[in-house]
Structures are given as structure tokens and as C-alpha cells.
Chain A
Amino acid sequence: MAQITAKQAKDLASDFLGLAQAIGDFRYNHWDDLSTEENQQLAKMQWSILNYGEDILAISSTLVFNDVSNTLTKIDSITNEIRQSVDKLENIQKAINIGSIIVALGGAIISRRPQAILDHLQELSDTWNE
């Protein structure tokens, strides 16, 4: 037997909703003409159809997984590659930050500014440990 698709299940659920609405409208329009037993039978049918329709919609969503399982794997793989590129650039940024601090430290040493030397050494240590 061919497997039902997500769209087919969704269409079936729409039919169930229409059917439940039709039964309900019949009940309300003929309320005084129906016996208690007839009304209860129709109510049971109406509510069962509503419940089945909702179940079918949920099943339709689970059937989507059959369509996308390979695609999910592919996009996850690409996302991981992007993350690695971001990490690489963040490491480059760290190297840039360290480079600029070393240049500034060099300037402070050459110009013999003790406080600037201490500040840049602290900055270097903080950046390295990020």
C-alpha cells in the first residue's frame, strides 16, 4: 500500500473538518426535531470526526520528516562548517589583538614609559587568556 503523504493527510483532515461542521449544522438546525437519542448519536459522530481530524493533522506533520531527513543532515553539516569558519576568524582576531598590543608594548618600552609597559603587559595577559 502506498504511503500517505503529508499533504494528503492535511487534505484528509480538511475533509474531516467539513464533515464535522456539516453534521453540527444539521444538529443545530434540527435540534427540536431530533429525539434525544438521535441527537446524542449525531453528537458522538461529530466529536469523533473532529478528534480524528486533529489526529490526522498531527500525523501529517510527522510524515514531513520522511521528506526532510536527508536535508536536515545536509544543513546541519553546513552549519558546522560555518561555525568552524567563525572560530577561525575569532582566532585571527585574537592574533590581531595580541599583535597590536605587542606593537604598543614595544613603543612603550622604547620610549621608557613604565606605566604604559605595565598596562600593555596586563592587556596582553588578558587577551591571551580569552
Chain B
Amino acid sequence: MTGRVTYYLVMLLCVVAFTGCGSLKTLHEYTSASASGASNFQDIDYSFQQSCLDRCHLTAAREFSIERDASCPCEIYQTADSITQLIYNAVASYLIELNALSSNDLTTYNLDALQLAISYGDYSSLHIDDKQANAYMSLTRILLHTTNLYQTKKLKQFISEADPSLQILLEKLQFILGQNIIGELNFKKESVYAYYKEMSKSKSLSDYEKSKLVQDYYDQVATIQLKQQKITTLIDILKQIASGHQYIYTHLNSLSTKKVKQQIHGYAISIDGLMDDFNHLK
């Protein structure tokens, strides 16, 4: 009788523990996509420093000035890059650690060794029958799911604490990328336009030289526009990360429901899709 009660209690605990496990998997899907998505920041291939150097070299080209060491005053731009990097690092570190905490690999229980140990059913005077073996396996699964519950509890705590700060940092990062770095690229586009327009006015150019000029100009514009597209896609990724995190934050008490899990899954899929778009922009 006691054995039967114990058996059903163990099964009940398994059901309760399994519920936590399902939420963890969904959270991990989102955190994994978010951590990867945010890391595309390192692939945008442009910076404030770069925009300063581009301007400096274009000015030298306009003035036909060649120096051994082009001294370009870019201190403000380096500071702007440092601040951007600071904000990105804070966001990226948080997402990476959150992803680590939600990982299913963080706590596993290697049942193989145990199965081998108890598969020899008769150790001299020690008998292990099927029911005892199953109960033992159930207990090990409970140990695993208990740590999963701990993970889920901690994830909820950290997401709740971090969301207001994360939203601010993601908003600022989007501002810097979307308004300022894309803005710098707009200035570069205008500078390139002005440079080639001035050159095209020269009466000493041959027809071939003029057409080469036009080709160079549009090649440069295409390169600038590609960089702007990559940054725009990255901003969309950051927006999805922000929305997903806020959604999780506002639904912390219903993470195990089908609807909420599907929505979180949707955010992960969106981020993955945008990462594909980003990677295709070459």
C-alpha cells in the first residue's frame, strides 16, 4: 500500500516538474534566437570611426592631397563608437547569460551509467526488480526536473528585474543605429554625390571618363545602401528581441499555457527569419 502511494506521488511530481520543463524549452528558443540575433551587430561593417575616415579620405581626394600619414581628427567619432559598444556589450552579455541559464544542457542526468548499474538485476544478495528500477529512474528524472524548475524560477526573476533596463538600452541602440549611423551613411551618400557631381562638371573629361565616373558613383551608392539595409534589418531584429522580452515579462505567470508558448515561439521564428535576411545581404 505504501509502495503504491509512493508510486503515484512520484508520478504526480513528474507531471508537475514536466510542466516547468516545457516552459524552459520555449524560453530557451527565444533566448537562443535573441542572443544570436543581437550578435549581428558585429557584422554591420560600419562605425562612426569609419565614417570619419571616409570623409577624411574623400576630402583628401577632392584636394588631390597625398600624405604618408593622413591625420584625421576622429576623437568624437571614437567616443561615439565606445558608447555604442558599451550599450551593445551590456545587451549582448545579458542575452548570452540568459540563454545559458535557459539551456536544457545546463542540467542533464546521464541515465546510461545508472541503467548499466541496475541492469544487472542480481548483485549477490541485492535484488532489484522492475518496479524498484522504475521508481529509481523516476527519482532521477525528478532531480533533473527540480533543477529545471529552479532554472525557470530564476529566469522569471531575472527577466522581471531586467525588462525595464533592457527596453531602455535596446531603444537607445536602435536610436544610435537607425538615426545616427544610418544618418552618417546619408551624409556619406551626399558627400559622394557632391564629389562626383563636381567632377562631372569638368569640361576636360572624355566621354569614357564621364561614363566611368557615373559607374563609380552608382557602385559607391549601392555599397552605402547595402550597409543601410543591413543596419535596418538589425534594428528590426532588436525590435523583435525587445517585444519578445516584454511579452514574456508581462506573461510570466502564464508561460506554460499553449497560447503564450506559441507567441514566444513566434518571436523566436521572427528573429530567425530576420537573421536569414541579414545574412543574405552581401
User: A residues bordering B, Cβ < 8 Å?
Assistant: 6-7, 10, 13-14, 17, 20-21, 24, 28, 31, 43, 46-47, 50-51, 53-55, 57-62, 64-65, 67-68, 71-72, 74-76, 78-79, 81-83, 85-86, 89-90, 92-93, 96-97, 100-101, 103-104, 106-108, 110-111, 120, 123
Instruction: Check A24–B90 contact: CB distance below 8 A.
Output: no
In Å, the complex CA distance between A1 and B52 comes to 29
B218 within 8 A of A: no
Other-chain contact of B180, A43, A60, A74, A92 (Cβ < 8 Å): A60
In Å, the complex CA distance between A108 and B77 comes to 66
With a cutoff of 8 Å between Cβ atoms, the chain A residues found around residue B77 in the complex are: 58
Instruction: Check A10–B90 contact: CB distance below 8 A.
Output: no
With a cutoff of 8 Å between Cβ atoms, the chain B residues found around residue A55 in the complex are: 76
Instruction: Say whether, besides A17-B186, A59-B76, A89 and B150 are in contact (CB < 8 Å).
Output: yes
Instruction: Check A43–B198 contact: CB distance below 8 A.
Output: yes
Instruction: Check B76–A58 contact: CB distance below 8 A.
Output: yes
Can you list the 10 inter-chain pairs with the closest CB atoms, starting with the nearest? A107-B117, A61-B80, A104-B113, A82-B97, A110-B123, A58-B80, A104-B117, A75-B165, A58-B76, A74-B165
In Å, the complex CA distance between A6 and B201 comes to 38
Instruction: Check A61–B106 contact: CB distance below 8 A.
Output: no
Q: Which of B207-254 contact A (CB under 8 A)?
A: none
Query: What DSSP secondary structure best describes chain A's contact surface?
Result: helix
CB distance from B99 to the nearest CB of A (A): 10
- Interface segment, one of B1-9, B12-20, B36-44, B171-179: B171-179
User: B residues bordering A, Cβ < 8 Å?
Assistant: 48, 51-52, 55, 59, 62, 76-77, 79-80, 83-84, 86-87, 90-91, 93-94, 97-98, 100-101, 106-111, 113-114, 116-118, 120, 123-124, 126, 140, 143, 147, 150-151, 154, 158, 161-162, 165-166, 168-169, 172, 175-176, 179-180, 183-184, 186-187, 190-191, 193-194, 197-198, 201
Instruction: Check A57–B93 contact: CB distance below 8 A.
Output: no
Residue of A17, A82, A92 with most chain B CB atoms under a 10 A cut-off:
A82
Some 24 contacts from A to B, beta carbons below 8 A apart, are A24-B190, A53-B187, A58-B80, A61-B176, A64-B172, A65-B83, A72-B87, A78-B158, A79-B94, A82-B97, A82-B98, A82-B101, A85-B154, A89-B101, A89-B150, A92-B147, A93-B108, A93-B147, A96-B107, A96-B109, A100-B110, A106-B117, A111-B123, A123-B113
Other-chain contact of B151, A6, A31, A89 (Cβ < 8 Å): A89
Instruction: Check B117–A103 contact: CB distance below 8 A.
Output: yes
In Å, the complex CA distance between A110 and B140 comes to 21
Instruction: Check B114–A58 contact: CB distance below 8 A.
Output: no
Instruction: Say whether, besides A17-B190, A93-B107, A71 and B113 are in contact (CB < 8 Å).
Output: no
